Amino acid sequence: MTGKLLIAGMLAGLVAALLSFSFLKGVGGPYVERAIAFESAMDEAKAKARADEAAAKGQPAPVEQAEPELVSRPVQSGIGLFTGVGVFSVAFGGFFALAFALAYGRLGALDARATSAVLAALGFVSVYVTPMLKYPPNPPAVGLSETIDLRTSLYFALMLISLAAMIAAGLLRQALSGRLGGWNATLVAGFAYIAVMTGVCLALPGVNEVPEGFPADLLWAFRLSSLGGQAILWATLGLAFGVYAERVVGREQPALRPFRA
């Protein structure tokens, strides 16, 4: 039973990856190209400034050493983007199926589809929305190469903390639901999650490396397209998995009975 749900979750993740990739490629792709064009113009301006400075001192213009292109831009925006989205979606689809098996029957009187939808919404908030509020995604030309390791570590640390806080909030809701009722317990757990994550976000260092002159509308549009891609991914994952889970759980399989309230 768990194996079937796991496979279903990974397949749902693959479907979600296809839809999310299509959105990111069609909607977000032009913004990435604009950001790359800005980065190229900025590099050319810096090279010209160095050449003018050298000419003013009577020195020969410095020779610019072009960095080797390990992966071409078409590969990055095509198979590279799909591979990244696909691996992420399939992996989280598997985790999502395991989370469903544990959560089903513990979220009140929700059926399989509703449970899947609620879990997808909670996953979207904890895995993407909360970390994004502190460390939003940036297009090319935004961010320094020497801080990429630090920025990546901070982002994933915040994502893991957010996911752990969401799980803890779910356990808190379950513990309080008998005394406070389902609605009040949900409110208390929600406020607890918000309070914890607000404190964590305030404690972590901020990162602001947007270069001077970078178009604000481009930055905003890129971040909105990233948000839209993730929303499509999690919505598809929750809805597609819910359809299969309803068929399985509707048969009253013994493997899932112990997880019910």
Q: What is the pTM of this model?
A: 0.76
Label residue 124 by pLDDT band (50, 70, 90): very high
Question: Domain range spanning residue 23?
Answer: 2-142+210-259
Residue 124 domain flag: yes
Residue 184 domain flag: no
Q: What is the pLDDT of residue 258?
A: 41
Label residue 200 by pLDDT band (50, 70, 90): very high
Compute CA distances 251 → 248, 254, 255, whole Å.
Answer: 6, 9, 11
Pinpoint the alpha helices (H) of the chain.
Answer: 2-23, 29-56, 73-75, 81-103, 112-123, 130-134, 148-180, 182-203, 216-249
Label residue 25 by pLDDT band (50, 70, 90): confident
Is residue 30 scored above 90 in pLDDT? no
Residue 120 domain flag: yes
Residue 240 domain flag: yes
158 vs 209, residue with greater confidence: 158
* ∠ Cα 206 212 213 (to 5°): 130
Q: What is the pLDDT of residue 125?
A: 93
Residue 189 domain flag: no
Residue range 21-36: average pLDDT? 78
Residue 115 domain flag: yes
Q: What is the distance between the alpha carbons of residues 141 and 145, in angstroms, rounded to a whole number?
A: 10
Tally of domains in the chain: 1
Residue range 157-167: average pLDDT? 93
If phi over 0 gives left and psi between -120 and 50 gives alpha, with beta otherwise, what is residue 137? beta
User: Which residue has 């292109």 as its token pair?
Assistant: 69
pLDDT tens digits for range 167-195: 999 889 888 888 888 788 889 999 999 99
3-state SS class at 158: helix
Q: What is the pLDDT of residue 197?
A: 94
Task: Show the 3-state SS of 72-140.
Answer: CHHHHHHHHHHHHHHHHHHHHHHHHHHHHHHHCCCCCCCCHHHHHHHHHHHHHHHHHHHHHHHCCCCCC
Residue 67 domain flag: yes
Residue 151 domain flag: no
Is residue 203 scored above 50 in pLDDT? yes
Q: Which of 66-75, 169-178, 207-216 has the lowest mean pLDDT?
A: 66-75
Is residue 32 scored above 90 in pLDDT? no
Q: Convert 208-245 to b/e letters by CB count within 10 Å (16 or more is b).
A: eeeeeebeeebbebbbebbbebbebbbbbbbbbbbebb
